Amino acid sequence: MKTKIIIGLILLLPVFGFSQGEWNQWYFGKYLSLDFNSGSPVQISNNAMLAIGGTISISDSLGNILFYSDGHYVWDKTNNITPNGSGLFGFWVAEQSVFCAKNIVNDSTYYLFTVGNGGSSPPHNGLHYSVFDMNLNNGLGDISPGMKNIPVPDADSAFNLLYGTRHLNNRDVWVVVKQHPVMSSTWPYMSFLLTANGFNANPVISPSYLGRNGLASNERSGVIWRVTM
C-alpha cells in the first residue's frame, strides 16, 4: 500500500511542479477581460481591443498576460499594438479569424494563424500565418521580420472559420479551416499539422458537402472529431 502511494505521488509531481496558467487571462469583446488566476473569473480593465469576432489571448505559465489579438492587430501586455503587429490578414468580425499555437521546440515563439472574410479581396482570403517572438520589442514580443502573413496555398479560399485542437499524441497541434473553391459542390475541411519540425503546409483533406448555409452550427459541431488522429 505504501509503495502504491509513493508511486502515485511521484506521478503527480509533474502536475504540481508546473503552473498551467497559459489560458487564465481572457481578452475579448468591447474592451472586456477576465482574470481566472484566483480560480474564479474576475473582471479587469486592461484590454485595449474592440473585437466583434473571435480573439486570442496568451499568458505565461504563471497566468501573466503576454499578448492578445483580434486577427488584425496584436497588442502586448502594456496594451500597445506591437511595432509589426498591425495589418494581419484576419478579418476582425469573422466568427474566428485568429488561432495561436506555441512553437513546440521554442517556448519564446508562437504561430498566429488567420483567415479573412468571404467578401474580402485577395490576399485577405485564405489561411495565413505569422510568427510572434517574445524576445523582440524589448521582451514585449512582436512579429518576426519576414514572418508575417505567410500564405498557405492549399487553403487559399478559406474564410471566416478557423479552429485548432491538440493532436491525439497530446503534443502536436491540428489547425483546421474549410476551403470554399468557386464553382464546386464540395467544400472540404483542410487540416494542417504543427509539430516539432514546424508547420506542415500539406493538408489532410476531409470532403464535405455542407454548403454556405450550413457554415454555422453544423460545422462548429463537426470539425473536431475529424482531426483527432
pLDDT at 124: 62
Please tell me the least confidently modeled range out of 80-94, 100-114, 173-187.
173-187
The average pLDDT across 151-174 equals 90
pLDDT at 219: 45
pLDDT at 216: 41
The average pLDDT across 76-101 equals 91
pLDDT at 226: 38
Strand partners, 128: 114, 151
For 164-200, write each residue's pLDDT tens digit: 999 999 899 999 998 887 666 678 899 999 999 999 9
Please tell me the least confidently modeled range out of 44-58, 69-83, 91-105, 179-193.
179-193
Between 211 and 70, the higher pLDDT residue: 70
Question: Residue 120: which pLDDT band, with cuts at 50, 70 and 90?
Answer: low
Q: Is residue 16 pLDDT above 70, yes or no?
A: no
Between 184 and 206, the higher pLDDT residue: 206
Q: Is residue 10 pLDDT above 70, yes or no?
A: no
